[in-house]
Chain A
Amino acid sequence: MRFKFNLITLSLLAISGAITGSVMAADFGVNKANTSTVKQEIFQCKRCPQIDGYSGTIGFNTAYIESDDIHSGNAFGTDKDGANASVDADLNYRNSTGYTAKFQAHQLGLDNGFAHLKAGKSGHYELVADYQQLTSYQSGNARSQLWYKDGVLTPSEHTQIQELSLQRNKAGLGLSYGRDFYQAYVRYDHEQKTGYQSSSIVTPRPVNFGLPIDASTDNLTAGLSLSGDSWTTDLNYFVSQYNNDIGALSLPYLYDVFAPAPDNQAHQISLSGQYQLSRTVMSGRLASGKMIQDDNLIQMSGNPLQNWDGEVDTLDGKLSVTSLLSSKLRLGGSVDYSKRDNKGSVWEFAQYEVNGITGAFKQNVPLDTERRGLKLNASYRLSSDYRLQAGYDRKEMERSHGDREQTNDDVLWAKLNVRALDDIKLKFKASLNNRGGSEYQTSELTSSEQNPLLRKYYLADRKRTAFEAKFNHTPTSWLSLDVTARYAKDDYDETQLGLTESEDYGYDINLGLQLDAHLSGYAFAGQQWIDAAQAGSQSFSTADWFADIEDEFINLGAGFTYTGLLEDKLNLGGDYLFANSTSNTLVTYDVSTPLGDYFSFNHSLKLHANYALSEEMALKLAYQYERYYDTDYAQIDVNTVPGLTTLGDLNHNYNAHQVMLSFSYQLR
């Protein structure tokens, strides 16, 4: 089934064209101003302060960290125990000729920090330079007998401690140049990724190991934008190259056992634009791209290729129209299209595992997808206190070689905004989503393997019902209260094996306080539950085992800021956060058995005192406490399970502290 895109678009335009000219909302744009009587040459600004030169602050931090787990480095910005130093900056420069510059830096010198520089003359040219270091720490306590060197994972006699963390160093440079109606821009980014991540190889027994990461990505984007009174357009070209310095991994007795991500590149050219006709606005984009991967393949018997000609052509397009037909009614709609065409060639490759259909050889299966979407929406203001929105969204997805060639999602939704009560705003939202599609059939490629009663959850028929209610109360200018409640249910009514149903519900409450000019505070609380049920069949017939998964999350927080103490010299502040994530799985197969503990909790407390030594100089003393605990029943010791080698128990349980003293200087 195809949409009649053109008819819908045309009719929308026709309606909007016919009604434009009736009562409209105001347009106070300066380009619409009646300046016939303005004598701008005698406009004055003698009372305006002239701010030229540098302003802002620069800060120097010294900190002391006490922690016995590198995981705390995620919160502190570095995993290094003991003393560290870093620099913060927030600087502005401007002069009377229109030249401006901004520089922001945060925790420069630590493993997580950034710096942004933006300089130029507005409306003419701008230079942007960015640097960011981002490190994520998983564990400093992984135990492995495999050590990577020059493409070989060398076994050592004893297990040794290994760190699992990933560091990204990213630098970018951008330049834009433009005048009244055009702007040309170019931006280049380079990112280097290094570290070790948890992975696993089959030797043929499974052995978990630290996969070395040493890769870089280069991105270049360049474009030209043009704009007129009622239109804008942008032509953009993007190219990205990924290079992995880690090649095929071998064991001394098993060659090329693991192929890390191959080098790849992507190109995309896109043309987008917007056109405004009175109160009707049309916007659209067409993007054509290629993803190419022709890295050398591992050479082995049964591989006919030196390198595979992997290429995916993509085409993405969207056209939207929205029209304010009157000050009360808005209509809108959009159509979109997205195609992924995998042009990679098909060959037969020898497999180590014998496949029931083709024996020891198997053909690669390049996957294609095609997506079409339609959205229609209307918004009507019933009165100044009530506004109703409603819409219909449809998404059609076609895929090659899938268990279901085509799926379609139809969504009906409505929102009601109510402002009838003083200081109270209410928002209600409801949606009904139905997914259906072509006949579900086990793919030809796997028909002898999959249980015919299985319905893969992302392809299966599904009915989703969702509600949301938001309540915002601002009884006075110093207090605001927001309460949101949500409920959603997914029913996979045709599924006998696989995910059969899922329920997701919760609430959150946010309170904001500005008690006086000096004291402000906030508090929030939220909970969420996600319950899912699935069925399986060990006997390869009808369902004979069931799993109930109950996720629960609770999040609490509060904080305050107190300024103006000691004759406006001392400010105090504090933040506290608690989060607890739990997932309990109960498996029923004759008897019901819980799978074990799988939860994490975190207490985070931050306190700070800021003391102004003078108008320019200030000292800040800050304390941060991180309590973190997580456990996972699957985390077992290296050799607990015969035949399986793990990286050991990677659960966390720590108390970590940081004390920081900062000196800041304010430029005026």
Chain B
Amino acid sequence: MMNKSIITKLLFGVFAFAYLSLSVQAAPWNQLTGEQLEQQLTEKFAQGKYSKKGADSCLMCHKKNDKVMAIFDGVHGNSGQADSPMAGLQCEACHGPLGKHNKGGKEPMIAFGKESKLSAQSQNSVCLGCHNDPQQMAWHSSSHNLDEVACSDCHIIHTDKDPVMSQLTVNDTCTSCHTQQKSDMNKRSSHPMKWDQMTCIDCHNPHGSMSESALNHATVNDTCYSCHSEKRGPVLWEHAPVTENCANCHNPHGSVNEAMLTQRAPQLCQQCHMDDGHASRVVQQGGSDAFGGGKSCLNCHSQIHGSNHPAGSKLQR
């Protein structure tokens, strides 16, 4: 019964959207190439033929569109806010001067989103016109900018709830492109990302940063210390790979091993420790002795991140 209704819906959906997609293609500037469109919009922008009445001119036609009207729910549509576009050139602050767009609807306006043929660079220039503040300081050299990600690929402006501005939805936006990281958060161990208790932007800045991997702090370790301050030290007896980079042993996005370790003990330890003592010992049976059972090497060397005990050189105390 349920299956039948879903199939009917699916078929209905297919026909409905086939019809809709035909009707949507009616805009005359859809025939233009990206370059032609950009050229035309650039000329129009330079001419600066703004409407006489601002938003009211636009809403004469677009008022019935719920998506258009949703701009008034958010900050960009709040005319009471002095730095909001709605307190300035209104709709045309972002969509460019009206020109002859309203006379037969043949002239294009600056449009955003997946359907827009305008380059990400040109779309983003609109946003950066106002958002050229210290938070976006590293944007131009960021991998998102170099990969031509448009602001509107992540942000929704015509709403009071931009999904990337909420702790409960930002991870969904990031993982819609970063699919490897989406999988990683479901592995045996991971930071609590899948329950939105932590978010991607706790560690990374999607607008770029002056650090590697667009991290929020100067180094990988500084980023980890922002929550794991007990590991910051320094301590008397340091463990060199720990001091150098937490990611030498941990994959912060998730792992099939416990504690987000890239490999588990004793194998991980034995990739660096092969002395003439017990570290070289082959561990053939898990759980049958202190090397392969319990916490393995960490049964004795539990202070693996470093020890501040005067007699802790072996990271045991």
Contacts and interface: CB of A to CB of B under 8 A. Distances in A.
A98 B243 CA distance: 48
Given A516-B9, A581-B188, A595 B285 contact: yes
Given A35-B89, A536-B270, A310 B234 contact: yes
A450 B290 contact: no
A589 B212 CA distance: 41
Interface string A633-668: 111100011011011000000000000000000000
A200 B298 contact: yes
A284 B290 contact: no
A456 B81 CA distance: 58
Contact of A227 (B38, B133, B161): B133
A526 B179 contact: yes
A74 interface: yes
A134 B197 contact: yes
Interface in B73-126: 73, 75, 77-86, 88-90, 93-94, 96-97, 110, 114, 118-119, 121-122, 125-126
A273 B281 CA distance: 53
Nearest to A134: B197
Interface string A335-353: 0101010101000011111
Given A35-B50, A310-B233, A589-B282, A353 B210 contact: no
A545 B283 CA distance: 9
The 6 closest A-B pairs by CB, nearest first: A29-B129, A34-B48, A43-B54, A633-B286, A515-B13, A261-B230
A227 B119 contact: no
A538 B272 contact: no
A32 B86 CA distance: 17
A1 interface: no
B302 A272 contact: no
6 contacts: A28-B41, A45-B54, A98-B81, A283-B138, A283-B210, A506-B180
B50 A30 contact: no
Residue among B231, B281, B289 facing the most chain A CB atoms (10 A cut-off)? B289
Contacts of A112: 192, 195, 197
A380 B275 CA distance: 51
Interface residues of A, number: 212
A465 interface: no
A159 interface: no
Interface string A249-286: 00000001111011010101010111010000101110
B26 interface: no
B141 to A, nearest CB: 4
B275 A449 contact: yes
B211 A318 contact: yes
A515 B146 contact: no
Given A30-B93, A583-B256, A266 B232 contact: yes
Contacts of A497: 274
B13 A478 contact: yes
A477 B20 contact: yes
Nearest to A578: B186
Given A33-B45, A634-B292, 17 more contacts: A39-B52, A40-B54, A40-B88, A45-B90, A47-B60, A48-B59, A183-B133, A232-B133, A232-B134, A264-B234, A281-B141, A305-B310, A451-B280, A458-B241, A581-B256, A640-B293, A644-B293
Interface string B243-256: 11100100000001
A498 B125 contact: no
A123 B75 CA distance: 12
A223 to B, nearest CB: 9
B48 A35 contact: yes
Contacts of A544: 282
A122 interface: yes
B1 interface: no
Interface string B1-42: 000000001101100111011001000000001110010011
Given A270-B218, A318-B211, A587 B244 contact: no
Residue among A262, A366, A636 facing the most chain B CB atoms (10 A cut-off)? A262
A583 B265 CA distance: 12
B75 A122 contact: yes
Interface string A1-38: 00000000000000000000000011111111111111
B79 to A, nearest CB: 6
Interface string B274-317: 11110011111111111011111011101100011111111011
A206 B294 contact: yes
Contacts, number: 510
B234 A293 contact: yes
A227 B132 contact: yes
Interface residues of B, number: 159
Given A201-B302, A534-B267, A498 B234 contact: no
Contacts of B223: none
B80 A344 contact: no
B298 A633 contact: no
Nearest to A259: B309
B183 interface: yes
A34 B274 contact: no
A336 B168 CA distance: 34
B160 interface: yes
A519 B168 CA distance: 22
A476 B148 CA distance: 23
A74 to B, nearest CB: 7
B240 A74 contact: no
Contacts of B93: 30, 33
A183 B90 CA distance: 25
A283 B81 CA distance: 30
Given A122-B82, A242-B232, A314 B244 contact: no
B264 A598 contact: yes
B258 A632 contact: yes
A281 B48 contact: no
A355 B314 CA distance: 10
Contacts of B140: 274, 276, 281, 283, 320, 322
A360 to B, nearest CB: 9
B289 to A, nearest CB: 6
A575 B151 CA distance: 28
Contact of A646 (B63, B77, B243, B293): B293
B41 A26 contact: yes
A95 interface: yes
Contact of B275 (A227, A451, A643): A451
Residue among A389, A510, A536 facing the most chain B CB atoms (10 A cut-off)? A536
Interface stretch (A58-66, A296-304, A615-623): A296-304
Contacts of A643: 290
A494 to B, nearest CB: 14
Given A318-B211, A456-B272, A297 B232 contact: no
Contacts of A232: 132-134, 137
B125 A26 contact: yes
A600 B188 contact: yes
B213 interface: no
A274 B121 CA distance: 18
A538 B18 CA distance: 69
Interface stretch (A79-87, A144-152, A433-441, A548-556): A548-556
Contacts of A506: 180, 183
A416 B284 CA distance: 46
A640 B285 CA distance: 14
A162 interface: no
A551 B256 contact: yes
A273 B133 CA distance: 10
A255 to B, nearest CB: 11
Residue among B182, B237, B271, B307 facing the most chain A CB atoms (10 A cut-off)? B271
B89 A538 contact: no
Contacts of A47: 55-56, 59-60, 63
B257 A583 contact: yes
Contacts of A106: 167-168
A401 B50 CA distance: 68
A151 B218 CA distance: 36
B281 A122 contact: no
A227 B50 CA distance: 28
A643 B290 CA distance: 8
